Amino acid sequence: MTDITKKDGEPVMDQAIRLVVEWDGRAYVARSVERVAMRVPGVSRFERREAGSGRFVEVRGEDGALLHRHAIDERLPQGMSYPTGDPNRPTADAALKPGMTFSILVPAHPKAAVLALVEVRGRPKDKKGAPKGAAPAGDELLLVSLEGGGK
């Protein structure tokens, strides 16, 4: 059972969901989704950019309600840095190539039904008729359904 005791106003859970994503050259593709026994920190004050722009991973409920949002700009790269082994130039950059994968960890919220990778540009507009707590408007880069409503 997931422990959702509050710490500093944020739920702390004993399980996380690990999403492995691959860039196939055109789009992001989910390669695996699994529950893991580990705690994932909540969102820090620095990361509270709900009204800002950027790339985010969202945990949504069955009704579309936003349960968790975490900035992941650095995890959805346009390119990758890698070590060169040269002390004069410790890292170099390379374009993101098809087949590159990365992992994202989010809290395994008991009401989780969907994981979404979204890109928000500018201030999100209010959605008329959207359920309270629904995710702000943004370009959805990837949607992953969690069977059983995240249970």
Say if CB 110 and CB 150 are below 8 A apart: yes
* DSSP 8-state assignment for residue 25: S
pLDDT range class, residue 45, cuts 50, 70, 90: very low
Q: How much is the pLDDT for 150?
A: 39
142 SS3 class: strand
CB atoms within 10 A of CB 86: 9
Q: How do strand 16-23 and strand 28-36 relate by DSSP bridges?
A: antiparallel
Higher local confidence (pLDDT), 92 or 115? 115
Say if CB 108 and CB 13 are below 8 A apart: yes
User: pTM for this structure?
Assistant: 0.67
Q: How much is the pLDDT for 89?
A: 85
Instruction: Specify the DSSP element, H or E, that contains 33.
Output: strand 28-36
Mean pLDDT to the nearest integer, 69-76 = 73
Tokens of 139: 């370009």
Give the DSSP letter string of 68-100: EEEE-GGGS-SEEEEEEEETTEEEEEEEPPTTE
Give yes or no for residue 105 having a pLDDT over 70: yes
Percent of the chain topping pLDDT 70: 66
Q: How much is the pLDDT for 114?
A: 95
Q: Which residue matches tokens 């893991």? A: 36
Pick from 45-49, 62-66, 94-98 the range whose average pLDDT is largest. Answer: 62-66
CB atoms within 10 A of CB 15: 18
Say if CB 141 and CB 72 are below 8 A apart: no
